[in-house]
Amino acid sequence: MSTDLVDELRSRVRALLTEAWPNGAATQDVDALDFLRARFDAGLAWVHFPVGLGGLGAPRALQAVVDAELAAAGAPDNDPRRIGIGLGMAAPTILRYGTSEQQRRWLRPLWTGEEVWCQLFSEPGAGSDLAALATRALPGTDGVWTVDGQKVWTSSAHTARWAILVARTDPAVPKHRGITYFVCDMTDPGVEVRPLRQITGEAEFNEVFLTGVRIPDTDRLGAVGEGWQVAQTTLNNERVSIGGQATPREGGLIGIVARTWRTHPELRTAELHQRLLRHWVDAEVLRLTGERLRQQLAAGQPGPEGAGGKLAFARLAQELTGFEVELLGEAGLGYDDWTMVRPELVDFTGREAGYRYLRAKGNSIEGGTSEILRNIIAERVLGLPPEPRTDKDVPWKELAR
């Protein structure tokens, strides 16, 4: 890492703080949103993005320098958990496939959190087999597409302004080739969002019905019929954002379980101790593997390696939450609030062990099921022969559904 680059970044951060956060956290007359906008315009939002789009074209690894300086100054942040879909999935796709106008329109409010994004991919008949999707987009003579269909398991749909959407534009070709990628305005009157209540009692996910939704062609990402290729950028980044998050040693769920262990010595047994040690090692291996993956991202787009991280994350989360419930015994089964609420984000840390146990069941489904991820790893990482696919060259409209 170049010392000159680090010094330049720190100088830019100091200039930003002087101009937009003059008296630190004690300032009452500086709006947090104004500061975030100024940070984006200064190229300090994501430094590896191009100049003018929140970045400086610098190495991705230098983002940690900026984040540390701003955190030390008590400057506002953009709450990445609330806008994770926009940051982790929509933004990389817009950067790679969006026009200059699209990038300027969407990236700034996406990063500042002014506009929340969601993902309209999965359908009732096309979950694990996403390419079988049936939502249709028909072109009009006025340069506007009309979209009809249903999407499901959509996080943040009830708070989102925009959605990344894949729809079928040509049913006469094989399923992977007749898909186009759009950005959908969730405030359109043809968009209906209905809550899906989960085993936790919450409605974190939604089903979305699209009826005559009009999307201008200027809101298309990539070429017509090449939506599957565009979607791969989204999906690869999604897996990294779920399974490759940066955490400190003994951070996340392993930290919660370790604290439970330390505060309840009367519940310990030798067998549970051995299992906890294995979980701790697995968590550390996953943390270090995620760090290596993030370093690889600096050299280009994420590959299928993210599938491995997401697969391991889901397995470990379920094992850890199960271990915590077993350790606590009857107390671990307690869960005192089944109210149907529609949260903006998932809170593992501030909830009961019983809640964490139930919510972790979704980790092996969201972001790609563990079964499908094993196929991806086998074929794209290990190079094993693919499973026979009888529908590979058959037009989508002729497939049995």
Backbone angles phi, psi at 368, to 5 degrees: 105, 125
Q: How far apart are CA 294 and CA 245, in angstroms?
A: 9
Closest CA to 126 of 147, 144, 151, 148: 151
Over the range 207-243, which residues count as b (16 or more CB within 10 Å of their CB) and which as e?
Answer: bbebeebebeeebbbbebbbbbebbebbbbbbbbbbb
Type of residue numbered 157:
A
- Tokens found for residue 165: 């959407």
What Cα–Cα distance (Å) separates residue 400 from each residue in 17, 127, 136, 170, 371? 60, 16, 17, 17, 22
Q: How far apart are CA 332 and CA 18, in angstroms?
A: 49
- Tokens found for residue 329: 């015994």
DSSP letters of 108-125?
A: HHHHHTSS-EEEE--BTT
Which residues are the active-site residues?
238
- Tokens found for residue 28: 């009452």
Q: Which residues contact 131 (CB under 8 A, 6 or more apart)?
A: 175, 176, 179, 228
